[in-house]
Amino acid sequence: MSESQKDIPIPAESEEDYHENADIEDFSDSGSSALGDFQETVSLSQTQRNRLSNGEGIEDLSSRHVGDQDHLNSDITNNGEEDSLSSLSSSSSSSSSFSFPKSLNKMDKDLGTTPLPLLRPKPKHKWFAINEVINRECGTRNHFQNAQLFQQRFYGSLHAVKRLELMYKLEKHKGCVNSLHFNQSGSMLASASDDRKIVLWDWAVGKCSLKYDSGHTSNVFQTQFLPLSGDNHIVSCGRDGQVRLAVINSTGVSYTRKFNCHKRPTHAIATHVSTPHVFISAGEDALIISHDVRINNSTRLGYAQEKHHKIGLYSISNNPLNSNVFCTAGEDRYLRVYDRRYMSGGEMEVVKYCPSNLVDNNCVHVTSVVYNYNGSEILGSFNDDDIYLFDTINPSYNDFTYKYQGHRNNVTIKAVNFFGPRSEYIVSGSDCGYIYFWDKHTESIVQFMRGDENGVVNRLEPHPQVPVIATSGLDSDVKIWVPSCEEEPK
C-alpha cells in the first residue's frame, strides 16, 4: 500500500457526500493499534479515489469490480478455504493486525475493492457524557432523565461499546468453558465446562464463590439460574443427555436431582421469569421437554421435525413477553417457533423462519437462536454462513430483515446474542478468536476484540443491567469485558 493511500477514510456514496457526512463513524477514528492496522487494510485504492472524484459511488464501484453484491457476500462468508474476516496475521506481533480471506486478498490486490461489511456507513454517536449528566441532574421537562433511564441510555450507546476492554480473567476451570449465565440481578455469574464442574462467580471482584461437581458424566453444555428468589436453584444439561438441578446454600450444594433424560446430547435450556419453577430442555434427539422443579414428573412437549423427520436441536429461547412461546434451532436451516398450548403432535410449530437464499440449502444448520428484549425479533446464527435477524411482528414475512457478516461460524456450536437494554447491537464470537459487535440497523461492525487465545469464542453473556459482557471459548477461563478504556471514542 503506498503512503498516499494510508489514512484515507471509507467514503459515503460519493466524495461530496463524504464531506457532508464527516461525522459518520469509521474504524480509523479509534486510537488503538489494532484499529490503526485495520485502517490500512480498508483504505481505498488510487483507482477508487479517481472514480470517486468523477462522481461514482461505492455501489457503482462494487458493481464494476465484483459484478454482484451477493457474490461478494458469498466470498466473504461462504468460501470453504477462507479464514475469518478478521484473523490474526502474525502471532509474534504485539498489536492485532488483520488479513482478509485469500479470495478477498486477491480481489483487493487485482481490483482495488474492499469487503462489503467494511464499506457500510457506521452509526453516529448519540450519547455525550456532559449533556447526559446535565439532563439527569437538572434537565428540562423534555430532556429530564431519572437514574434508570440514564443507565439504559449509556448501556445502549455506541460510546459504551467502543470503550469495552478486558477487565480480568476468571480462572477455575480445567477445560473449555461451554456456558455462561448471569442471575436476574446480575450479581452472580455461573459457568460450566468440559471438566464437569459448575462455578459461581462474584464477578465484580473476580472471585469464585462456589465450585461444585455437576453430577454429569460428560461435558456440561449449559447451566442457568432459575429466576427464583435467592438465586439458589441452578439447572444444567450436558453431553450425557442428563438434565440436572442443584440447590445451593451458604455452605455448598444442599440438594441435587436428575430429571427425565434425553437420549442424546442436550445443548440447551430455557427459563422464563413469569414461570420461575419451570424450564425447557432441548437435545439432539429432537425432543423438547418441560421440567417443573415442584413435581417429580417432566412433560414431553413433542419433537422438532420436518415432514416426520426428526431435527436434532442445538438451541432454544423463550419469548420474554410470552412464556408459552419459544423458538428452537438445530440440524437444519429453519428456526421454529412453538406455542406450548398447541403442541399435540404432528406439525406443531406456529411459524418457521429461514433466509430466502438458504431455503434450498440442505447443508446449512443453525447453531444458536435468541429473542430480543421484547420478543419482536429473533436472531439466528447459521453454520458456515451469516447471522440473520427476523421480524416476529409480521409472521407472514418470514424472510430476514438484516444480515450480519464478517465472522466465521464453522468449527463449533457457536452462540449469538443481543447487547444493550433494547437489543441495540448484535454480538458473536468467531473461529478466529475475535468477538464482533454489529450495529443492528446499519449492519456495520462497530467493535471487535481478541477474545480467545486458542482460537474460538463460543459463548457471550451480556449483563442484564450494565454494559458488561462475559465471554468464553476454548480457553479454560471466563473473560469479563467492561467499558473502562481510557481512550476517548471518536
DSSP string, 297-347: --EEEEE-EETTEE--EEEEEEETTEEEEEEEEESSS-EEEEEGGG--SSS
Residue 484 one-letter amino acid: S
Percent of the chain with pLDDT over 70: 72
pLDDT of residue 408: 86
pLDDT of residue 122: 81
* Residues facing residue 388 across a β-bridge: 380, 403
Cα–Cα dist 381/330, whole Å: 10
Q: How far is CA 366 from CA 88, 410, 412, in A?
A: 26, 11, 11
Domain ranges within the chain, ordered by starting residue: 3-118, 168-482
pTM attached to this predicted model: 0.75
pLDDT of residue 454: 83
Cα–Cα dist 29/37, whole Å: 12
Q: Which cell is 151 given?
A: 443507565
Label residue 120 exposed, middle or buried (CB < 10 Å: 0-12, 13-18, 19+). middle
Cα–Cα dist 218/466, whole Å: 34
pLDDT of residue 150: 79
Residue 73 one-letter amino acid: N
CATH T-level topology, domain 168-482? Methylamine Dehydrogenase; Chain H (2.130.10)
Which DSSP symbol is given to 25? B
pLDDT of residue 314: 97
Q: CB of 162 within 8 A of CB of 170?
A: no
Instruction: Give me the DSSP letters along 401-440.
Output: EEEE-S----SS---EEEESTT--EEEEE-TTSEEEEEET
* Residues facing residue 197 across a β-bridge: 213
Cα–Cα dist 175/325, whole Å: 34
Residue labelled with grid coordinates 467492561 = 482
Residue 316's nearest CA partner among 272, 268, 252 is 268
pLDDT of residue 113: 57
* Residues facing residue 473 across a β-bridge: 457
Cα–Cα dist 480/145, whole Å: 29
Q: Which residues of the chain have pLDDT under 50?
A: 1-111
Q: Which cell is 335 given?
A: 428456526
Label residue 175 exposed, middle or buried (CB < 10 Å: 0-12, 13-18, 19+). middle
Pairing verdict, β 243-249 and 233-238: antiparallel
Q: CB of 478 within 8 A of CB of 178?
A: no
pLDDT, tens digit, 9 for 90 and up, residues 281-291: 999 999 999 99
Q: CB of 184 within 8 A of CB of 202?
A: no
pLDDT of residue 487: 78
Residue labelled with grid coordinates 444458536 = 368
HSE of 101 in the Cβ direction (CA atoms, 13 Å)? 21
Q: How far is CA 339 from CA 53, 235, 274, 342, 351, in A?
A: 56, 23, 15, 6, 10
Residue labelled with grid coordinates 442443584 = 246
Q: CB of 139 within 8 A of CB of 462?
A: no
In the chain, % helix, strand, coil (3-state, to 5) comes to 20, 35, 45
Q: Which cell is 263 given?
A: 437420549
